[in-house]
Amino acid sequence: MTAPTLFDAEQQPQLDHVSGAIAQLILGFARGRLRSGQTEFHASELHEHVARHTEGYSAPASADRILRDLRRRGLVRYVVVNRRASLYRLF
């Protein structure tokens, strides 16, 4: 018997759950930044926020990928201010 991989059908519900939880954390992060007027942020700040609330059970790239998906779906609006510095601005 082999261990399940991320590509196994049984893993999809778990992946959806984790992605949904991270998406909610990202939305909360964005709302908080907008409310406080701190519209610019570095990717590292977002990664730290997600890691802090998931007890480190999330790959750093997950937050980036999910942030892009949220933008594509119209749930978060931001621009990349400086790609090299991973600096974003919410609007």
Q: What is the tally of structural domains in the chain? A: 1
| Structural domain range at position 69 | 37-91
Does the residue 31 lie in any domain?
A: no
Does the residue 5 lie in any domain?
A: no
pLDDT range class, residue 13, cuts 50, 70, 90: low
Does the residue 1 lie in any domain?
A: no
The rounded distance, in Å, linking the Cα atoms of 32 and 10 is 35
Residue 39 scores a pLDDT above 80: yes
Q: Percent of the chain at pLDDT above 90?
A: 67
- Residue 16 is predicted with a pLDDT of 58
Does the residue 68 lie in any domain?
A: yes
| Three-state DSSP class for residue 41 | strand
Does the residue 30 lie in any domain?
A: no
**Phi and psi torsions of 81, nearest 5°:** -80, -45
Does the residue 63 lie in any domain?
A: yes
Does the residue 43 lie in any domain?
A: yes
The rounded distance, in Å, linking the Cα atoms of 13 and 35 is 33
| Side chain identity at residue 39, one-letter code | T
pLDDT range class, residue 70, cuts 50, 70, 90: very high
Q: Are 43 and 90 in contact (CB under 8 A)?
A: no
Mean pLDDT of 1-9: 49
- Residue 25 is predicted with a pLDDT of 96
Does the residue 65 lie in any domain?
A: yes
